Structure 1
Amino acid sequence: MIDSINLSFDEMWDKIIACDEKYDGLFFTAVKTTKIFCRPSCRSRKPKRINVEFYHDIRKVENAGFRACKRCQPKVEHSPHTQLIRTVTSFLINEYKQNLTLQDIANHVGISPFHLERLFKQETDETPRTYLEKIRIDKASNLLINTDRTNLEICYDSGFQSPSNFYKVFRRFKNCSPSEYRNLHR
């Protein structure tokens, strides 16, 4: 069974609007009006927000009377390593505030760090470290737009251990500073 992830409705909504593949299999979008459920990365037309429910388990969404989307095929596993990658991504999403090493992540799933990094890169085209940084930047971006917390508070709330690393990584992914990002999106 897939580990549950700790995302708010707003965060999950943002992921489906962005068609974010990183969250495929970790939650499903069910549309009440059509009775269809999809992956977060589905490219189908987006439903109205009031018609959406989110489920973390495919059996629960099916038991609620929804059927799988024919376009994104959420019931189809794409790789023999899909479950392992879901477990890792779920762990990273839930533990993003922790100071995680590759060894910590590998210990969680019970394989060697080298093997984990190789499989993860093969399946997602990025390393677990990069994936974790993207999660942290997503959290920081959300906090910058939706709260009045200071950049330093957001740095630590997002799991970064130092402000300099936070600013460097934020600029790498968003091409601007956190303050510039906040001013652009408010």
Structure 2
Amino acid sequence: MTDCINIRFQDSDDQEMMTDEKWQAIISNDASYNDQFFYAVKTTRIFCKPSCKSRIPKKENVCIFQNAEQALHANFRPCKRCKPTNEKLPDSEWVAVITEYIDKNFTEKLTLEKLASIAHGSPYHLHRTFKKIKGMTPVEYIQKIRLKIAKEYLIETNKSIADISTYVGIPNKPYFITLFKEKTGHTPTQYRQLRKMEE
């Protein structure tokens, strides 16, 4: 396990090997291993105690560290749920993790429950905290990103409305058209025609 993204180690001794024993501790949330190692997930940039009750990550995305300082040094953020540094992650940082995940994965089916699971928190707390920091709910933010990309596709490509709606993560074309009109005042087709006339 030596391929964690953006790791700035002076030497490779900071990062531990993944063993079957450690993997078993992670998937069984074994608290008896809590002081022995920490695990970090490359896709979310979050690190946890072995006992963390968060969703089990893919094994190939996990890095093992001997202590929290090493995980922090490697640019991982502490989990909100299990608090591996025994400190609370500031809300703004936590929301930044979620926002970054949405920005990269907006084409996927993103529910509040899935985001909360990925971000190691409860759906209710995520909804409330996200709205407090961003001024909009996670769902509104997801829609904003999807419509922003849809507008780019409408202007820059000749893709069909159905293809664009599927690509941006809204496979239901009638819903996509309704949402687009509600947020922009135009249907996707009208928006495309108006922008072409402006050129």
Q: Classify the TM-score, shorter chain.
A: 0.5 to 0.7
Partner residue in 2 for 1:176: 186
CA–CA separation in structure 1 for the residues paired with 2:189 and 2:171: 19
By how many angstroms is 1:80 displaced?
Answer: 3.2
For 1:82 and 1:136, locate their aligned partners in 2 and report how far apart those are by CA, in whole Å: 22
Q: Does 2:173 match 1:163?
A: yes
Q: Which has the higher contact order (CA 8 A, sep 6+)?
A: 1
Deviation (angstroms), 1:91: 0.7
> Scaled by the length of structure 2, what TM-score is found?
0.53
For 2:91 and 2:156, the matched residues in 1 are separated by: 36
Aligned to 1:56: none
Instruction: Provide structure 2 residue ranges, at least 5 long, that are not aligned to the other structure.
Output: 7-88
1:93 is paired with a residue of what secondary structure? Answer: helix
Q: In the alignment, which residue of structure 1 is the partner of 2:129?
A: 119
- Which residue is 1:185 aligned to? 195
Q: Does 1:101 find its partner at 2:111? A: yes
2:180–2:188 CA contact under 8 A, matched in 1: yes
Q: State the shift of 1:161 in Å.
A: 2.4
Identity %: 28
On the 8 A contact 1:99/1:161 being kept in 2, the answer is: no
- 2:147 paired residue among 129, 137, 143: 137
Shift in Å, 1:149? 0.4
Question: Aligned partner of 1:132: which letter?
Answer: I
Corresponding residue pairs, total: 110
Q: Output the CA distance in 2 between the equivalents of 1:92 and 1:161.
A: 17
Distance 1:124 1:172 in 2: 21
Paired with 1:153 and 1:123, the residues of 2 have a C-alpha distance of 33
Tell me the CA shift for residue 166 of structure 1. 0.3
Deviation digits for residues 49-104 of structure 1 (CA, Å, limit 9, x no counterpart): xxxxxxxxxxxxxxxxxxxxxxxxxxxxxx93111111111111111111111010
1:93 and 1:173 mapped to 2: Cα distance? 19
Instruction: Output the aligned Cα RMSD.
Output: 1.8
1:103-151, Cα deviation, whole Å (9 max, x unpaired): 1000111000000000001111111001000100001000000001011
Give me the TM-score of the superposition, normalised by structure 1.
0.57
1:9-55 CA-to-partner distances (Å, cap 9, x unmatched) read: xxxxxxxxxxxxxxxxxxxxxxxxxxxxxxxxxxxxxxxxxxxxxxx
Q: In 1, Cα distance between the equivalents of 2:174 and 2:103?
A: 22
Aligned mates of 1:116, 1:143 — CA distance in 2: 30
